[in-house]
Structure 1
Amino acid sequence: MTPSLLVTDLTAGYGEVQVLKGVSLTARSQGVTAVIGSNGAGKSTLMRRLAGLLPHTGGQITFEGQDISTLASHDLVARGVVLVPEGRLIFSDMTVFENLTIGAVNPRARADRDNTLETVFDFFPRLKERRSQLGGTLSGGEQQMLALGRGLMANPKLLLLDEPTLGLAPGIAKQIFQIIPSLVKLGLSVILAEQDVHKTLAIADYVYVLENGTIGAEGLSADLQNDQRIKDAYLGA
């Protein structure tokens, strides 16, 4: 697969605390690139940095051949780099429909909003049923569907999914994992940061293992599933 996003020697953190210490990775075009690692390894910091939510402190990010290292988050969304954050962060006092349509504020997404909305409703029929319901009254699983749907409304080329199944019931988590490969079939590229290593390896094309802010291992998903160190550390085998 050709690269969609290239990350070279990326550093990031919060104030004087450096979390990412020279991370390099490649996200394949129209594929699922996964970032796994234990809690506190730096996965969310990486996703926030890729989305332009943390300041540029070092390294380079290239998307579709263009240096985007210093762009603000709204400029990245306009180019097609969209984050679905950990914790959902939906607007609880807005309806499902309003939450979704606010995701299509950039001009590129707004032009195709109605078609994208139907695609979201096809993926998540429950959101269509609850389109007039306030976001804050939805279940946790429904709110995650809404957060993912809002991300899709931005008409992304590269979708950053930060812990999309965290805290969800097994049935809802399974549904999310089933949807991600379908997004790739629509032409999207996906970077998935997850703690559920079993299910992540089952859908990912290429995997990076983040350990204490650095890449500790990487490889094709099938190869890492047979790597004894990965089995011992993450798969309980």
Structure 2
Amino acid sequence: MSHVVSAVNPRRWGRRTSILLLAVAFTVVAGLLAGLAGISAAKSRSGLPTEVVRALDNLKRTGEISAKDRAVLLKHRSIAAQVIDPSKTRIVDESTGDAGAGLSPLAGGALTAGAAAAGKAGCHRADRYISYRTVLGSKAFDWHKVLHYCWSKTGKVTIKERRYYLKNNDGTNYDRGLISNTQTGKGTAHYASTMQGKVENCVLKYGCIMVKNPYIRIVVNGKKGLPYQIWMRK
């Protein structure tokens, strides 16, 4: 019995081999590109470490810093020094009053204090601020509101100074002005002043990660012995 062995066409085999090699090469290149894309995405902020990018992404999304992300940032102190820690914000008072005006010092929060005895004219300069600190505990910036007001013997309130300002800015926070700025009752016995700011906290090589909106409202009542109230929100 005879067997017929078909001849192999060298050209056809060569084409098949080339196609197979091209397919393998394409698969390898595609895998490499996918890997590089993943690395690029993780280090898309000008080469920041992957874990830092992830921690900043989480903070930007949630507005909070988890214990895990805080530990990551603390390993990279140059980054941690730029990031505001929401848990370390403080409310502070630098108010001053006329000698003998009967002013009581204010602690943090929404409080009421007797500003003067009824029937006595005087002035008071309220300087309250909200202090924002970084993950390292250093100051990021202080957002101040100043209200310097006077009252007559009849209790009418006049304003000598009213403004806000940033102090101790570490250079990575950007003042975007006021999103609320109102006052009512000038020249009357009941005056109210509200200011709310907008400050962006940014990180070099990453961008801005959060917006802080410090809020301070002061209300002065000239007919009840000049009590004044202050509301503050971080």
TM interval, short-chain normalised: under 0.3
Question: Comparing both structures, which one devotes a greater share of its residues to strand?
Answer: 2
TM-score, normalising length from structure 2?
0.24
RCO (CA 8 Å, sep 6+): is it higher in 1 or 2? 1
